[in-house]
Amino acid sequence: MDFFFEPNGVAVVGATPETDSVAHYLIVNLTLGYRGPIYPVNPKYDEILGLKCYSRVSEINGPLDLALILVPAPAVSQILEDCVTKGVRGAIIESGGFAEVGPEGKTLQDQCLAIARKGGLRIWGPNCMGLIDISKRYVFSFITTEAWKGMMNPGGVSLIVQSGLLSAGFITTLMGNRTLGLAKACSIGNKSDVEETELLEYLLNDQATRVIALYVESFLQGRRFFELSSSTSKPIVVLKGGKSSLGAEAAVSHTASLAGNDELIKGVLRQAGVHQADDFLEMVDIARTLEKNFLYQRPSGKKARIAVLSYSGAAGIVTADHLESNGLTLARFSPQTQKRLEELSPPWMPVKNPVDYYPAMEKHGPVLAFRHAIETLHDDPEVDGMIVHLFAGFGTWLLNTKEIMPDIKKPTKPILFWLLGPDQGREVTRMALEEEGWPTFSEIHRTVKVMASLFEHPRRLGADPPAYQWLSTKATSSPKIPHFSSQVTPLLKELYRQAEEQEISILDEHEAKKWLTALELNVVKEEIVKSYAATLRAANKMGFPLVLKGRVEGKVHKTEAGLVKLNLCNPGQLRSAYQEMLRLSPKPQFFMIQPMLKSDLELIAGIIRDPQFGPAVMLGLGGIRAEVYRDVVFRLPPLNETDVFEMASDLKGETLFKGYRGSKPVNMKSLSEWLIRLGWLAQAFEKIEEIDINPLLIVDGEPVAVDATIILKSDFHS
Amino acid sequence: MDFFFEPNGVAVVGATPETDSVAHYLIVNLTLGYRGPIYPVNPKYDEILGLKCYSRVSEINGPLDLALILVPAPAVSQILEDCVTKGVRGAIIESGGFAEVGPEGKTLQDQCLAIARKGGLRIWGPNCMGLIDISKRYVFSFITTEAWKGMMNPGGVSLIVQSGLLSAGFITTLMGNRTLGLAKACSIGNKSDVEETELLEYLLNDQATRVIALYVESFLQGRRFFELSSSTSKPIVVLKGGKSSLGAEAAVSHTASLAGNDELIKGVLRQAGVHQADDFLEMVDIARTLEKNFLYQRPSGKKARIAVLSYSGAAGIVTADHLESNGLTLARFSPQTQKRLEELSPPWMPVKNPVDYYPAMEKHGPVLAFRHAIETLHDDPEVDGMIVHLFAGFGTWLLNTKEIMPDIKKPTKPILFWLLGPDQGREVTRMALEEEGWPTFSEIHRTVKVMASLFEHPRRLGADPPAYQWLSTKATSSPKIPHFSSQVTPLLKELYRQAEEQEISILDEHEAKKWLTALELNVVKEEIVKSYAATLRAANKMGFPLVLKGRVEGKVHKTEAGLVKLNLCNPGQLRSAYQEMLRLSPKPQFFMIQPMLKSDLELIAGIIRDPQFGPAVMLGLGGIRAEVYRDVVFRLPPLNETDVFEMASDLKGETLFKGYRGSKPVNMKSLSEWLIRLGWLAQAFEKIEEIDINPLLIVDGEPVAVDATIILKSDFHS
């Protein structure tokens, strides 16, 4: 991709000297930074900005790696042909009017792509703002010159934005406010060829890029994105657009991309250690804070412990509220910290976290008080991070940050500032803090959210997830491939062959449980019976209460079809249930009789195969409310115990795994084995589309599948 | 309270000419605006700022309504004695060192209060910043003069802030940024006497105040606050500090106030039509938007339909995501709107909501395009509110808002702006929009949150809550007092008398169900049995499966004690259960045999008596996950059907009330009757502390209580 970022020769197709055209900015911007050969292309002109103008790309003499194209959509394919002829390596198509506007535009886009693929040309866009490299001052974009000139603020954050216009307004704002230090900004629009994952890989290897922030509406190479982001230590922040059904609806029409299953993407990004944002500036706030490269010392299995230093009790309280709702906790100070803080605080003012240090500030001046408290809290091993409330405005409150920030040259823990004050005075302090590497925020909720994001991925920080507080067993991180796989593979192949032979693509409970049994997973005991006499015999052997299920091949929604009778208490109830099912049409081929299990917890587990991310394993809370509370998590296989432990701890219903009202806790080792094997199955058998184990009951701590469905790809013969 | 807001004569106790003391600001601020007689009080001086200085309050000659006090806490009580002697009517104690610092300070505060109560003096504070009246330029506060001079921005929002310092930093920020038009700002600190509810009442009657925003950590007169806020049309916004356990812990030490049950307060404020905020600036953003007094035309029983006008598809998508998560929806445009918008958009660009109008802006210039689109969307009856994305910075994007806002002199729907741009250019546009009455925001999430807040209270806007979409029956709003009350009151009185006689304060299931039966509420059928023979007879009559419960008087947690055996299927199981319970110690006095109900939904209902809000009715989703998902709502009685319908629609599990997988929907009329009667009971019998109906099962759509506990005040003889 170097020919996009460091091209030898750039053509500007559509360049114009007319200053009211956006294409004019494209050539102007290029000349202001890029030092290699520049070739304006436009049959109407001989010269633009003193540069020789060509009527077409193929006429250009000299080295030419990259074409920037900004002409009406229907004219683009011809230009690409020309680029191929000339041997151009990359084209950034900034024009709109392609897939984002509907089927006609999609056809144009496909034509362009076909030409490029055939000719070995790479395409960036269309419908995008191109790319900007701040440190090199390369602006390969039609962004208004006024929007960036004199405002570039170089830094380590690179952006990938699946959007055209927003990139411009957004980047301009960030540069204008000098909030973010930018390395490279890539606006990829419709991403017909170059997309987020390839760019991510490029930026992961880019020295200038220390943090990558992405706005995307889809992941075209989901699995690869996951693998790259899981295996890097460079922080990544993602804002995913089209999360809701409303947003997804809008997304489809916008860049013609399929927005994925939000819950799945959330789980995958979490598993990969990617930071997730909900809004544009929030994404930037997280990214610019990650760039500071604070050190974290989070204790294993605990929530991050935050110290709050304030000049106001009320602000401390509201901060504490937000800490709790973001999964952080208030630090409990060491006795030494307590003592040191009390040194400056008047005796009538009790010192506790949040620290209301106004009395100390009043007594000793804000500079000394802040300095002393920040130093003290930074030294405390019981403190993982610090939020400082600062008011900057006038008089003694026009604080010199060099004075208040003590000799924490390289802080060993994050220190974030919530800064209030009237615009003018506050801006001075804000800029001073930011320049010295201290992130500031104007709202408490954002300060806390960013702090939470820093500690979001305990595993990346070398600590265990909080779940380990309640789990008696410790997870192991190795066995991603179950040891038994060689034995069961032939069995499963045989089961698959049978389904294929009978052209069955939906395996109902009876069939699906054979697969699970082959995987050596626990399923509910059952007996197959075909007459009432046999049913009664089996019942007496098994003992009441019982469940009677009628099997109609391929019938998956048995409850709705009247094929499940729960909690049968005696032979009378059993007989009525049996007779009722016999009256159904179609009549059950046979019956299954099962014990009515007394479970402590009802889970749901399964796999899906996502077009972008491939197979994914799901775990959730089951029962009638599953759909209401949507308490499910996804992870990509292969899994290990740590992954499964983390899945459980990511559920809102986490606490139910610990056991409640005297019930046994879930055996997490067994549950892990379940999900590891399901994941292995999904990866080993590409023909499996979906597995649904619902419910997966927890009986005496152990998981037991009570019903299951497997969906196979139905193209057996293709 | 007029003597606080419009006093005739103000003494400043602790006044000093020393400019490095905060008490100096108190006297300076006063002289800069207040035109009545001012009396500095300080034995050390004869004159301050050219005013005669008194050594004590009682020496003052002339009219004197109000004393502002800023001296060390231990000196305050003597000054109050003096105020009483002089006949001062109100004292604002701005000093700290009282209840907020611990028991010693609390004692000082109580002493002050006793002196004031005895002498007919009202106290504001202590530990507060006093009050500011922007239009009158009264600053009865030690806030730094630089913090407000030349920055006052008069308007219709009044603040009540339970805090000292924050008020200062906060109000200074707001004034400095000219974001908020302020009427009065009241910092009430420890609120030993004057508190939020009394002030609320005052401000509700204050002509200058159009919206009231409060930061509070407790409601000292909760019920009265509820009644005032329910019956006014003036909008009220509340930020409640100490919501979380962490925040509440901090709150207790801060102003020595008990933070209430967060879920309860949330429900009460919702019932009262109060807008709720989570952060300080969010509170202000909601308040300043409410002040614009937009008109709302929300269709009954539907989500508010929002049009999004953007220059960026991506920003539209993220806005749509936030709309959904905030309970709003994207408007579907009328055919006419569609046509009108297409007039300016190039034919290749499909027009839909969110509207990506950049192509139109490029073609016709942003001024014309914005103007046309805003006018069109404002005219559309299918649009309830509008969010406009604006970029303001330079060139053609230095928009003249007078030009882009069409002749919507008085808008009939809210129009909120999300404004991006580099600081300088953006500020010009922001100020212009704000001055013309168009609220602007810098983040999408905030813009949407404020929009949601405007539509938060459908009943206030004369529309039904969204729940009515799924309810087949229509709620009636009248019968707050059940018609039957005169008949059942004697019955209940008799039951109470019995409990009193036996000194029973915890009524177990057996007793509690008598009360419910007296209220003509449906409880599970039961038979009392005392021998196994009788048990078996009852069982055979009732039919299996059954539930056997042992009754040990006063034992409420029966399950944990082994006193409940569910789902008994046959005489064998019944006998084992019976015998097992007989082995318990203490042995059950008798047994209850009940049918095992097949329910479609497990609810929980009850009442609690809150020290601040009095009796409150609760409804929630029951079962083992009740504690995990905390899906409960509270309302204050008396209730009517509309209240109960709204309670159900406020639950996350709302959808379960509609029926699912073929089960019957909940009979909302019956459920309403349940909660209306429980509320009536709680109000009629003050001795009832708590009622817990858990579970309240829904069987064939009808509520049936299966277990219940009633807790009575145990001070029978007091």
The 10s digit of each residue's pLDDT in A670-687 is 999 999 999 999 999 999
Hey, which residues 414-443 in chain A have their CB within 8 Å of chain B? Answer: 420-426, 442-443
For chain A, report the end-to-end CA distance as a whole number of angstroms: 37
Going by the DSSP 8-state scheme, the letter that residue A241 receives in this structure is S
| pLDDT for B237 | 97
Give the distance from residue B71's alpha carbon to the nearest chain A alpha carbon, in angstroms.
14
Q: Do A425 and B176 touch (CB under 8 A)?
A: yes
CB–CB of B214/B252 below 8 Å?
no
Q: Would the pTM count as exceeding 0.95?
A: no
Asked if A352 has any chain B CB less than 8 Å from its own CB, the reply is yes
- Mean pLDDT rounded to a whole number for chain A: 89
Q: Do A165 and B311 touch (CB under 8 A)?
A: yes
Residues in CB range of B557: below 8 A, 6 or more apart: none
Residue in the structure block whose two tokens are 């002749």: B407
| pLDDT for A257 | 47
Asked if B354 has any chain A CB less than 8 Å from its own CB, the reply is yes
Among the partner residues B321, B350, B621, nearest to A247 by beta-carbon distance:
B321
Q: Do A350 and B162 touch (CB under 8 A)?
A: no
* Bigger pLDDT: B6 vs A628: B6
Q: Measuring CA to CA, which residue among A417, A374, A416, A422 is closest to residue A397?
A: A422
pLDDT at A322 over 80: yes
Size of chain A in residues: 718
Q: Measuring CA to CA, which residue among A310, A319, A232 is closest to residue A275?
A: A232
| pLDDT for B385 | 96
Q: What is the DSSP string of B269-330?
A: HHHTT-EEESSHHHHHHHHHHHHT-----PPTTSPPEEEEEES-HHHHHHHHHHHHHTT-EE
Going by the DSSP 8-state scheme, the letter that residue B37 receives in this structure is -
Residue of A nearest to B361 (CA): A165
What percent of chain A shows pLDDT beyond 90?
63
| pLDDT for A474 | 62
Q: How buried is A301 (Cβ within 10 angstroms: 0-12 exposed, 13-18 middle, 19+ buried)?
A: middle
* Bigger pLDDT: A460 vs A428: A428
Q: Do B559 and A661 touch (CB under 8 A)?
A: yes
CA–CA separation, B405 vs B415, rounded Å?
10
A444 CB-side CA count, 13 A: 29
Give how far the C-alpha of residue A157 lies from the chain's centroid of Cα atoms, to the nearest Å.
18
Chain B residues in contact with A348 by the CB 8 A cut-off are: 73, 97, 101-102, 104-105
Chain B residues in contact with A656 by the CB 8 A cut-off are: 624-625, 628
Q: What is the DSSP string of B551-619?
A: E-TT---TTTTT-EEEEE-SHHHHHHHHHHHHTSSSPPSEEEEEE----SEEEEEEEEEETTTEEEEEE
- Mean pLDDT rounded to a whole number for chain B: 89
Q: Do A324 and B245 touch (CB under 8 A)?
A: yes
pLDDT at B258 over 50: no
Q: Do A169 and B423 touch (CB under 8 A)?
A: no
CA–CA separation, A204 vs A232, rounded Å?
8
Asked if B650 has any chain A CB less than 8 Å from its own CB, the reply is no
CB–CB of A406/A379 below 8 Å?
no
Hey, which residues 281-300 in chain B have their CB within 8 Å of chain A? Answer: 281-282
Chain A residues in contact with B280 by the CB 8 A cut-off are: 315, 318, 443-444
pLDDT at A216 over 60: yes
Q: Measuring CA to CA, which residue among A530, A493, A500, A479 is closest to residue A676?
A: A479
User: A178: alpha, beta or left, given left = phi > 0 and alpha = psi -120 to 50?
Assistant: left
Alpha-helical segments (H) within A125-244: 165-177, 196-204, 222-230
pLDDT at A661 over 90: no
CA–CA separation, A150 vs A171, rounded Å?
14
| pLDDT for A350 | 80
Give the distance from residue B494's alpha carbon to the nearest chain A alpha carbon, in angstroms.
36
Hey, which residues 197-226 in chain A have their CB within 8 Å of chain B? Answer: 215, 217
Whole-angstrom CA distances from B531 to A445, B537, B596 are 62, 10, 20
Q: What is the largest CA-CA distance in chain A?
A: 99
Q: What is the largest CA-CA distance in chain B?
A: 99
Asked if A147 has any chain B CB less than 8 Å from its own CB, the reply is yes
Alpha-helical segments (H) within A472-569: 485-501, 509-518, 532-542
Asked if A245 has any chain B CB less than 8 Å from its own CB, the reply is yes
Going by the DSSP 8-state scheme, the letter that residue A658 receives in this structure is G
Exposure string for B427-453, b = 16+ CB within 10 A, e = fewer = bbbbebbbeeebbbbbbbbbbbbbbbb
pLDDT at A354 over 90: yes
Size of chain B in residues: 718
Give how far the C-alpha of residue B697 lies from the chain's centroid of Cα atoms, to the nearest Å.
30
CA–CA separation, A552 vs A564, rounded Å?
11
Asked if A540 has any chain B CB less than 8 Å from its own CB, the reply is no
Chain A residues in contact with B350 by the CB 8 A cut-off are: 101-102, 253
Q: Measuring CA to CA, which residue among B650, B649, B643 is closest to residue B678?
A: B643
Q: Average pLDDT for residues A257-267, to the nearest whole number? A: 75
pLDDT at B22 over 50: yes
Q: Average pLDDT for residues B312-333, to the nearest whole number? A: 94
| pLDDT for B256 | 47
> Which uninterrupted H or E stretch holds A235?
none
CA–CA separation, B140 vs B133, rounded Å?
8
pLDDT at B481 over 80: no
Angle of the A165-177 helix axis to the B313-325 helix axis, nearest 10: 80
| pLDDT for A410 | 72
Going by the DSSP 8-state scheme, the letter that residue A54 receives in this structure is B
Q: Measuring CA to CA, which residue among B442, B170, B423 is closest to residue A431?
A: B423
ipTM above 0.90, yes or no: yes
CB–CB of B580/B562 below 8 Å?
yes
CB–CB of B308/B389 below 8 Å?
yes
Asked if A562 has any chain B CB less than 8 Å from its own CB, the reply is no
What percent of chain B shows pLDDT beyond 70?
92
Alpha-helical segments (H) within B345-436: 358-364, 366-379, 401-404, 423-435
Q: Residue A213 corresponds to which amino acid?
A: A
